[in-house]
Amino acid sequence: MLTRLARMVTRDGGNTAVEFALVFPVFILMVIGIFETGRALWTQSLLNYAVQAAARCGAVDTTTCSSSTSTVSYAVQNSSPLTIPNGDFNASTQACGNQVSVSYPFTTVVPQLLPFDVTLSAQACYPKAS
């Protein structure tokens, strides 16, 4: 009887399944979190590039970016993989030169797992060419 009880206590047939069930959700959340963080950084970098290029275009290339509307259109073109409407960009002339800014609501791919609302923004000002 004692040996039978000892064998039952030392069996570990289902331990792997239980450990997998405990670790797998955490692992998946970590992988998705890393993916979404990388995507957010890429999006921020793209927004920075779009406003910098548009601010420079407004200051240097007066044929392509002759007005604030054309500067905004240029910024939208430079943010090409993203679909950002023209209304999210703002182009104006400030004391620092031509300023372009944007605010973009970043949503995650799986909002049920990572329910975070983040608004990414970028701003650039380029001095007028003399």
pTM of the model: 0.80
Average pLDDT of the segment spanning 34-49: 94
Please count the other Cβ atoms lying within 10 Å of the Cβ belonging to residue 108: 18
Distance, CA of 29 to CA of 91 (rounded, Å): 39
Confidence of residue 5 (pLDDT cuts 50, 70, 90): low
Distance, CA of 116 to CA of 45 (rounded, Å): 19
Structure tokens at 18: 């239980």
- Inform me whether the pLDDT recorded for 130 exceeds 70: no
CB 98 within 8 A of CB 59: yes
Structure tokens at 53: 């290029």
